[in-house]
Amino acid sequence: MLLLLLLTSAFPLVPWAGAGRIIGGSEVKPHSWPYMAHLSIQNKSNHFTCGGFLIRSDAVLSAAHCVAGKKNVTVTVTLGAHNVEKREPSQQKLRVRHWVIHPKYSKDTSENDIMLLKLEPKAKQTNEVSYISMSSQNERVKPGTKCNVAGWGRTSITGSGSSVLMEVDLEVQSDEVCEDLFKDYLNESMICLGDKKLRKAAFQGDSGGPLVCNGKAHGIVSYGPQNSIFPEVFTRVSYFVPWIREELRKFALQDLPDPPSSD
Ligand SMILES: *[C@@H]1O[C@H](CO)[C@@H](O)[C@H](O)[C@H]1NC(C)=O
Ligand SMILES: *[C@@H]1O[C@H](CO)[C@@H](O)[C@H](O)[C@H]1NC(C)=O
């Protein structure tokens, strides 16, 4: 699999390669995804990017595989961006000092592919920056539901990343579709999506970005198959609501993890 950032039971997509792309999508109307976050993750020798999304003025959700296992990295979140290669007046760029990777995240199975980043200072809410509600605990989107995903990832399998934010719609598939293909697919904590006609997908570089169904964040771009673009697996946000709430409570108490060491 490709971590779509990419991971599959067999082959996590390596985010350093610039994983994640939206295939078959179109450029978003600028700032129509005001909760969208661009993550830049780098150390002295490597740089890669992921997506994420603002769920509170001081918290961004993303995928664990974007940061897990990387050494000496600094993480910078940019909010309010449309073209990430430009300095737009709407942009808020924040260096992240604290993040929490789910303690049961597994690189091998992509289980619990979720990470919460604390913003300090908080994001300023503007016309271009605001947060999105998460799905409620245990709420499940039915197969056939149309959802949207956005990212600055690659726009073709061989192409490069996109400077402007792209979006694509994908349909929720039954769990069986992913269970048949991915031996580590878990119906409780993952959502199966895709476009059966193989025209549309999230791709490398899109990892960590939000899957929005009926106006709420239901998923996080996680992984896909190595040699195809269908189907794809998203972290199921509703399953993690209790974990997210607990971590947000710790944020409020300043009960924070030690700052990750930077070189
Ligand atoms: C940067 O991260 C990569 C991946 O974890 C690691 O192999 C490399 O040693 C790191 N470089 C530095 C300078 O820490
Ligand atoms: C998930 O899969 C298990 C085992 O295959 C099954 O018993 C359970 O009902 C499924 N849960 C949902 C919510 O579909």
Q: What is the CATH number of the domain that holds 77?
A: 2.40.10.10
Q: Which of 202, 260, 257 is nearest to 235 (CA)?
A: 202
Residues 174 and 46 in one domain: no
Q: In sequence order, what are the residues at sequence separation of 6 or more whose Cβ sits closer than 8 angstroms to the Cβ of residue 186?
A: 111
Mean pLDDT of 45-58: 92
Could you give the C-alpha distances from 175 to 143, 166, 188, in angstroms and in order? 8, 26, 9
Residue 141 domain flag: yes
Domain count, the chain: 2
Residues 149 and 203 in one domain: yes
Residues 146 and 226 in one domain: yes
Q: How far is CA 164 from the centre of its chain?
A: 17
DSSP-assigned letter for residue 140: -
Residue 173 domain flag: yes
Residue 213 domain flag: yes
| pTM of structure | 0.88
Q: Residue 197: in which H helix or E strand, if any?
A: none
Q: Whose alpha carbon is nearest atom 6 of ligand 1? A: 71
Residues 12 and 71 in one domain: no
Spacing, Cα 159 to ligand 1 middle (Å): 25
Quick one: pLDDT at residue 48? 84
Tell me which residue range forms the domain holding 46.
36-131+241-253
Is residue 113 among the annotated active site residues?
yes
Q: Which of 254, 243, 249, 24 is nearest to 155 (CA)?
A: 24
Ligand nearest to the CA of 41: 1
Counting atoms of ligand 2 from 1, which one is nearest the CA of 175? Answer: 14
Quick one: pLDDT at residue 68? 94
Residue 260 domain flag: no
Ligand nearest to the CA of 69: 1
Residue 263 domain flag: no
Cα separation, 32 vs 36, in Å, equals 9
Neighbours of 30 (CB within 10 A): 14
Q: Which of 30, 48, 63 is nearest to 205 (CA)?
A: 48
Strands (E), the chain: 2-3, 6-7, 20-23, 26-27, 36-42, 47-56, 59-62, 74-79, 92-96, 98-101, 115-118, 146-151, 166-172, 190-194, 201-204, 210-213, 216-224, 232-236
Residue 224 domain flag: yes
Mean pLDDT of 2-22: 37
Q: Which of 245, 221, 2 is nearest to 100 (CA)?
A: 245
Question: Do the strands 6-7 and 2-3 form a parallel or antiparallel pair, or are they unpaired?
Answer: antiparallel
Residues 137 and 127 in one domain: no
Cα separation, 109 vs 93, in Å, equals 32
**Does any ligand 2 atom lie closer than 6 A to the CB of residue 187?**
yes
Catalytic residue among 9, 62, 189, 207: 207
Distance between start and end Cα atoms, the chain: 31
Residue 262 domain flag: no
The residues facing 212 across adjacent strands are: 148, 217
Q: pLDDT band at 1, cuts 50/70/90? A: very low
- Tell me the pLDDT tens digit for each residue of 99-154: 999 999 999 999 999 999 999 899 999 999 999 999 999 899 999 999 999 999 87
Quick one: pLDDT at residue 260? 60
Residues 41 and 113 in one domain: yes
Residues 92 and 147 in one domain: no
Quick one: pLDDT at residue 13? 37
Quick one: pLDDT at residue 131? 96
Whether residue 155 has pLDDT greater than 90: no
219 compared with 196, residue with greater pLDDT? 219
Residues 154 and 213 in one domain: yes
Residues 115 and 245 in one domain: yes
Residues 126 and 147 in one domain: no
Residues 137 and 234 in one domain: yes
Q: Which of 20-24, 245-249, 254-258 has the highest mean pLDDT?
A: 245-249
Residues 53 and 108 in one domain: yes
Quick one: pLDDT at residue 11? 33
Residue 92 domain flag: yes
